[in-house]
Amino acid sequence: MSRAALLVLADGRFPAGGHAHSGGAEAAVRAGRITDAPSLEEFCRGRLHTGGAVTAALAAAAALDADPGELDRAADARTPSPALRAAARRLGRQLMRAARATWPHPELDALARRFPKGAHQPVVLGLAARAAGLGPEDAAYCSAYEGVSGPATAVVRLLSLDPFDATAVLARLAPEVDRVVQDAVDVARRAVSEGPDVLPARSAPLLETGAEAHATWPVRLFAS
Amino acid sequence: MTTPGGVRATARIVARGDGRGGTSLPVLEGEGPLALRRTRGSGAEARVMLVGAMSGPLGGDHFTVDARAEQGAGLRVGSAAATLALPGQDKAAARYDVRLSVADGAELHWLPEQLISAHGSDLYVGTRVDLAATARLVLREEQVLGRTGEEPGRLTSRLTVRIAGRCVLDQELACGPGAPGGWDGPAGLAGHRAVGQAVVARPEFAADPPTARMLGQDAAVMPLAGPAALVTAVAPDAQRLRRLLDEALASFV
Which domain CATH number covers A86? 1.10.4190.10
pLDDT per position as a tens digit, A130-188? 999 999 999 999 999 999 999 999 999 999 999 999 999 999 999 999 999 999 999 99
Whether A76 and chain B come into contact, CB under 8 Å, resolves to yes
Q: How far apart are CA A201 and CA B171, in angstroms?
A: 5
Q: Smallest Cβ distance to B217: which of A24, A81, A213?
A: A213
Q: How many domains does chain A have?
A: 1
| Boundaries of domain holding A34 | 17-215
Interacting residues of A120 by C-beta distance below 8 A, sequence separation 6+: A58, A71, A72, A75, A76, A79, A85, A88, A89, A92
What are the backbone angles phi and psi of residue B155, rounded to the nearest 5°? -135, 125
The pLDDT assigned to B38 comes to 94
Whether A24 and chain B come into contact, CB under 8 Å, resolves to yes
**Which A positions 192-221 lie with beta carbon below 8 A of chain B?**
197, 200-209, 212-213, 215-216
Residue A2 lies in a domain: no
**Bridge partner list, B156:** B124, B174
Count CA within 13 A, CB hemisphere, residue A13: 2
- Say if the Cβ atoms of A206 and B186 lie within 8 Å: yes
pLDDT (tens, 9 = 90+) of chain B, 253 residues, equals 445 578 999 999 999 999 999 999 999 999 988 999 999 877 889 999 999 755 678 888 999 999 999 999 999 999 999 999 999 877 789 999 999 999 999 999 999 999 999 999 999 999 999 999 999 999 999 999 999 889 999 999 999 999 999 999 999 999 999 999 999 999 999 999 999 999 999 999 999 999 999 999 999 999 999 999 999 999 999 999 999 999 999 999 7
* Chain B residues touching A26 at Cβ < 8 A: none
The pLDDT assigned to A1 comes to 61
* Chain B residues touching A202 at Cβ < 8 A: 171-174, 180
The pLDDT assigned to B59 comes to 87
Q: pLDDT grade, residue A38 (50/70/90)?
A: very high
pLDDT per position as a tens digit, A21-37? 999 999 999 999 999 99
* Chain A residues touching B219 at Cβ < 8 A: 209
pLDDT per position as a tens digit, A69-99? 999 999 999 999 999 999 999 999 999 999 9
**Bridge partner list, B139:** B110, B199
Whether A82 and chain B come into contact, CB under 8 Å, resolves to yes
Whether B133 and chain A come into contact, CB under 8 Å, resolves to no
The pLDDT assigned to B204 comes to 97
Q: How far apart are CA B166 and CA B130, in angstroms?
A: 9
Distance from CA of B234 to the nearest CA of A (A): 7
Asked if the peptide bond before residue B57 counts as cis, ω within 30 degrees of 0, the response is yes
* Chain A residues touching B186 at Cβ < 8 A: 28, 31, 33-34, 39, 42-43, 46, 206
The per-residue b/e assignment along B212-231, b for 16 or more CB within 10 angstroms, e otherwise, is beebeebbbbbbbbbbbbbb
Residue A4 lies in a domain: no
Q: How far apart are CA A69 and CA A75, in angstroms?
A: 10
In chain A, which residue's Cα lies nearest the Cα of B209? A82
The pLDDT assigned to B2 comes to 45
Q: Smallest Cβ distance to B187: which of A47, A73, A201?
A: A47
Taken in order A155, A158, A160, A163, the sign of the CA dihedral is: positive
Q: Smallest Cβ distance to B232: which of A78, A80, A85?
A: A80
The pLDDT assigned to B88 comes to 84
pLDDT > 90? residue A63: yes
The pLDDT assigned to B4 comes to 59
Q: How far apart are CA A82 and CA B201, in angstroms?
A: 16
Q: Smallest Cβ distance to A85: which of B158, B213, B225?
A: B225
Name the average pLDDT for chain A: 97
Residue A28 lies in a domain: yes
Q: Smallest Cβ distance to A206: which of B160, B166, B190?
A: B190
Q: How far apart are CA A177 and CA A52, in angstroms?
A: 9
Residue A78 lies in a domain: yes
* Chain A residues touching B165 at Cβ < 8 A: none
